[in-house]
A and B are shown apart, each in its own frame.
Chain A
Amino acid sequence: DSGVTQTPKHLITATGQRVTLRCSPRSGDLSVYWYQQSLDQGLQFLIQYYNGEERAKGNILERFSAQQFPDLHSELNLSSLELGDSALYFCASSVYPGGLGELFFGEGSRLTVL
């Protein structure tokens, strides 16, 4: 158990819809990262928050947004969903703001868009 909690574990929805994925980081971790893993792809970095502030953006689509709340949990909002958004979405947390040190990953949220 990494200590990172992601909900829901599985989600099936239709094209055009909007979903919210939730992540609770490990106790004490201030950084939250979101990654997307599509079929046959590695983990694609989407966005990072540190202590409530956006710190870095990766390949995140404009239809996607995220935020980190004062209690440090984070939400990833995916809107106007397309078939290609079907993927496994991982949240990870770490103590450090930067890339040093290991990231602790949740079990992922599997999104299926039909």
Chain B
Amino acid sequence: DQQVKQNSPSLSVQEGRISILNCDYTNSMFDYFLWYKKYPAEGPTFLISISSIKDKNEDGRFTVFLNKSAKHLSLHIVPSQPGDSAVYFCAASGAVRGGADGLTFGKGTHLIIQP
């Protein structure tokens, strides 16, 4: 049972436009969410996170939005650049539970930025 779902395996966006990556979760105990980016032949790297006490967190071109009632979060990249082409993983943690079971990851969305 997938507790963190990324329903779009891939997404193609034109350079300069906005990229929106979506993620849904089912476990109401999750209260800390992260996005990781992965290039081929490399490990995932941390991008941005958000705590459940917030509904938005911004870092440069990257903004994460959290809608707790819908159990949905999204990552916005504006403007999209060629170097953003990568696989993006959504991850969740139950900090209230001490997060001792590690992060739960989605299957990832392959973002392709078209020139």
Q: Which residues of A pack against B, CB within 8 Å? A: 2, 4, 33, 35, 40-45, 48, 55-58, 90, 92, 96-100, 102-108
Contact = CB atoms under 8 A, between A and B. Distances in A.
Give 8 closest A-B pairs by Cβ, nearest first. A99-B99, A99-B93, A105-B43, A102-B46, A98-B99, A42-B107, A43-B105, A45-B102
Nearest to B46: A102
Contacts of A2: 43, 45
Contacts of B4: 42
Given A42-B4, A43-B44, A103 B103 contact: yes
Interface string B26-70: 000000101010000111111001000000000000000000000
A41 B107 contact: yes
B25 interface: no
A44 B3 CA distance: 11
A43 B49 contact: no
B100 A56 contact: yes
A98 to B, nearest CB: 4
30 contacts: A33-B102, A35-B102, A42-B2, A42-B6, A42-B106, A43-B91, A43-B103, A43-B105, A44-B105, A45-B102, A45-B104, A45-B105, A56-B100, A57-B101, A58-B102, A90-B44, A92-B43, A97-B98, A98-B98, A99-B32, A99-B94, A99-B98, A99-B99, A99-B100, A99-B101, A102-B49, A103-B46, A104-B46, A107-B43, A108-B43
A48 B99 CA distance: 11
B93 A100 contact: yes
Say what secondary structure dominates the interface of chain A.
Answer: loop
A33 B34 CA distance: 16
Interface string B1-19: 0101010000000000000
Given A99-B32, A99-B93, A102-B34, A45 B101 contact: yes
